[in-house]
Chains A and B, each alone.
Chain A
Amino acid sequence: MGERVLSISGMSKRFGALQATQDVSLDLHAGEIHALIGPNGAGKSTLIAQIAGSLKPDAGEIRLGERDITALGVARRARLGLGRSFQVSCLAEPLSVLRNVMIGAQALQGHSFRFWRPVDSDPRLLAPAHAALERMHLAHRADTPVAALSHGERRQVEVACALVLEPRALLLDEPMAGLGPEGSARLTELLETLKQEVPILLIEHDMDAVFRLADRISVLVAGRVIAHGDGPTIRRDPRVRDAYLGD
C-alpha cells in the first residue's frame, strides 16, 4: 500500500437523537480507491461532509498527510487538496459549465483579489478548466449553462470541478448516479486510471462498479463501520450480506 494521504479517527456526529456518525476511523492511501458503502441513511454523505469541512464533527480528528485539518474551513481544506463532489449536485446553474470549473483553477492560483484582468481570456484559467472537462468527456458542453445539463452530466461537472483543484485526495459521493450504463462504464474506466494520481474515497450504490474499482471497502450501517476489507472479504461477510447486500 502507498503512503497514507487521508486519515480519519474517532469521528462522531449526532443530530439530536440520531447518531449519524459513530466512532468512525478510516484512511485513504496513495494509489487506491476506498469505497464506502451502506444502506440509505447510513451516514455516508454526513461523513463526507465532515471530512470536507462543511459539517463540524462532535469528536474526532482528520489528517491530510501529516497535517491536522480538523479545525480548518471548507475553502482552506479544498486549497490544501481535498476535492469533493456532492450527491445532490452543487453548481451555479445559470453559469456555463466552463465557468463552474474555472473558479477552482482560480483558487489554486492564489487569492482572488485580482480586479483587472478579465477571466474570459485568461489562458491560466481556461487551459486547466478545459483540460479537466476533456478528461470528463465534457469538452463539448463547456459553454452550456449548467441548468441545461442532465442529472448525470452535472455529476461529471462536479468531478471536473474537483479535478481542476489538482487534489491530493478525492471524495466522490455517488458520481455514477443518473449516468446510465454507458456513462457508468466510462466513468468506471476513468476512475480506474485516475486513482494512480489521486486516491479516491468513493461512495457508490452501483455494486458492480464498487467491486470492480475498490481496493478496499468499508461498510457503514447506522453511522458505524461494521466491516472493512477487500472486495472478496466484504462479499463473504455475513453481517454485510445481512445488512446491505441482501440475498
Chain B
Amino acid sequence: MTRPHLSPLHSPAAATPAGPRRWLDRRRLVHGALLALMLLAPVAADLLGEVYYVNLASRIALVAMAAVGLNLAIGFGGMISFGHAAYFGLGGYVAGISAYHAFDGSLVMGLPGSDDMRVIWLAAVLLCGLLALAIGAISLRTTGVYFIMITLAFAQMVYYFATSWPDYGGEDGLPIYLRNSLPGVDTQDALSFFLICFAGLMLSLALTSRLMKSRFGAALTMARLNETRLATAGISPFPIRLVAFVVSAMITGLAGALYADLNGFVSPSMLSWQLSGELMVIVILGGVGRLYGPLAGAILFVMMETLLGGLTEYWTFFLGLVLLGVVLFARQGVIGWLAGSERHG
C-alpha cells in the first residue's frame, strides 16, 4: 500500500511550483547561511579580540532561542501568548537565585543553591514547565483576544510578585557576581559562553523541527488549522495545545537562564510585558511559524537596536516601520523574503 512519495507536508505542488525539493535549495541555503553567520561572526570577533561583539552574538542567540520557544506556541500552535516574559524571567531568576544561595551557602526552600549550570538549567526548565502548565491549563480555555489578555495578566502577576519580593533585590534586581559554571568549560570566556548559547539555540531548533514532524506535531498543526477536524478525527485539541505550550515555555525559560548568566544580572525587566512584546515582534519580523524565523528576527531586531539605538533613542520608530512593512508585504517575515514562502502547516 505504501507508495513512495514526497513529504505530504511540503508537497511539491504546494511548496514550490518549481518542482520537487532538491537537497540544496534556496531555503536550505539561507538557513545554513544564517547559522554559519551566527557561528562564524563571533569566532572572527574573538580572534580580533572584540569581546563586545562576541557577547552581542550571545545575546542574539539567546533572544533567538527564547523566540524559538514562543514561535512554537504562536506560529506552530496558534496560541498567541503575550506572556512569555514570565518564563524568560523565571529562567533568569532561577539562575540568579541559585547562584546567590550557592555564593553564601544558604538554603532555598530547604535546598542548597548551585552554581552548576546543569542544575540551573534543569531547575529552570522544570519550573517553567510547571508554571506554564498552570497558566496554560487556565488560559487555553479561552481563545483569541481573551487568550492574549489572560497570558499577559498572568505574566504581570509574576512581574509584580518579583518587584515586591525584597529578598532577591525587588525592583533593583539581583546580580550574579560570578558567571555560573559548567564542568570542562571556562564559562568566563566570552567565546566559550557563546558556544553554549549557540548549542542551546541549535538544540531548540532541532527539537522544534523534530517535534513538528512527529505525530504530536501533526496533531498540533491540525489544532491550529482546524480544531473541529482534529476532534472529529478522535483527538482532543486541549491536551495537545497544553503540552505544546509547556514545551514552548521550557525553551524560553532555558534561554532566560542563560541570558541572566550572560548579563551577570537578573531583574524584573526580564519579566516585563515589554519583553513579551519584543519576543512577539521578533517572531513576527522573522516569520510566524517558520522554523528559522526567530533567528532571522532576532538578528534583525538586535542589530537594529544596537546600530540604530546607538544613533537615536527613537530607534523603535524605525523598528515600527520595518514591522509595518513585514506585516503588510511579507506575510512570512524576513525568512519568507530570504528563503521563499513555504506552505503553512
A contact set with B: CB distance below 8 Å: 52, 54, 73-76, 78-79, 84, 86, 90-96, 98-100, 102-104, 106-108, 112-120, 122-123, 125-127, 130-131, 142-145, 148, 161, 165
The answer to the question of B9 belonging to the interface, with a C-beta cut-off of 8 Å to chain A, is yes
Task: Show 5 A/B contacts (Cβ-Cβ < 8 Å), sorted by A.
Answer: A54-B228, A93-B226, A114-B215, A143-B12, A148-B13
The answer to the question of B6 belonging to the interface, with a C-beta cut-off of 8 Å to chain A, is yes
Give the interface size class of chain B: 35 or more
Contacts of A73 in B (CB 8 A): 231, 236
- Nearest 6 A/B pairs, CB to CB: A107-B234, A78-B234, A92-B225, A118-B213, A143-B11, A104-B233
Contacts of A94 in B (CB 8 A): 14, 225, 343-345
CA distance A158 to B189 in the complex (A): 59
Do B9 and A99 touch (CB < 8 A)?
yes
List the one stretch of B60-68, B141-149, B216-224, B276-284 in contact with chain A: B216-224
Contacts of A116 in B (CB 8 A): 210, 214
Do A131 and B1 touch (CB < 8 A)?
yes
Do A74 and B8 touch (CB < 8 A)?
no
B266-289, CB < 8 A from A: none
Do B229 and A103 touch (CB < 8 A)?
yes
Do B343 and A118 touch (CB < 8 A)?
no
B contact set with A: CB distance below 8 Å: 1-3, 5-9, 11-14, 210-211, 213-219, 221-222, 225-226, 228-237, 239-240, 243, 343-345
Contacts of B222 in A (CB 8 A): 92, 95, 103
Do B234 and A99 touch (CB < 8 A)?
no
Do B11 and A144 touch (CB < 8 A)?
yes
Do A95 and B214 touch (CB < 8 A)?
no
Contacts of B345 in A (CB 8 A): 92, 94-95, 99
Contacts of B233 in A (CB 8 A): 75, 78, 103-104, 106-107, 161, 165
Of B9, B232, B239, B243, most A-chain CB atoms within 10 Å: B232
Contacts of B213 in A (CB 8 A): 118-120
Contacts of B218 in A (CB 8 A): 99, 102-103, 106, 112, 119
Shortest CB-to-CB span from B169 to chain A, Å, is: 38
Do A108 and B234 touch (CB < 8 A)?
yes
8 Å CB contact of A127 from B2, B216, B221 = B2
Contacts of A102 in B (CB 8 A): 8, 218
CA distance A130 to B213 in the complex (A): 19
Do B11 and A114 touch (CB < 8 A)?
no
Do B210 and A115 touch (CB < 8 A)?
yes
Contacts of B240 in A (CB 8 A): 112
Given known pairs A96-B11, A117-B214, A142-B8, the reply for A78 and B231 (CB within 8 Å) is yes
Do B235 and A143 touch (CB < 8 A)?
no
CA distance A195 to B213 in the complex (A): 36
CA distance A74 to B228 in the complex (A): 9
8 Å CB contact of B232 from A52, A126, A130 = A52
Shortest CB-to-CB span from A63 to chain B, Å, is: 19
Shortest CB-to-CB span from A143 to chain B, Å, is: 4
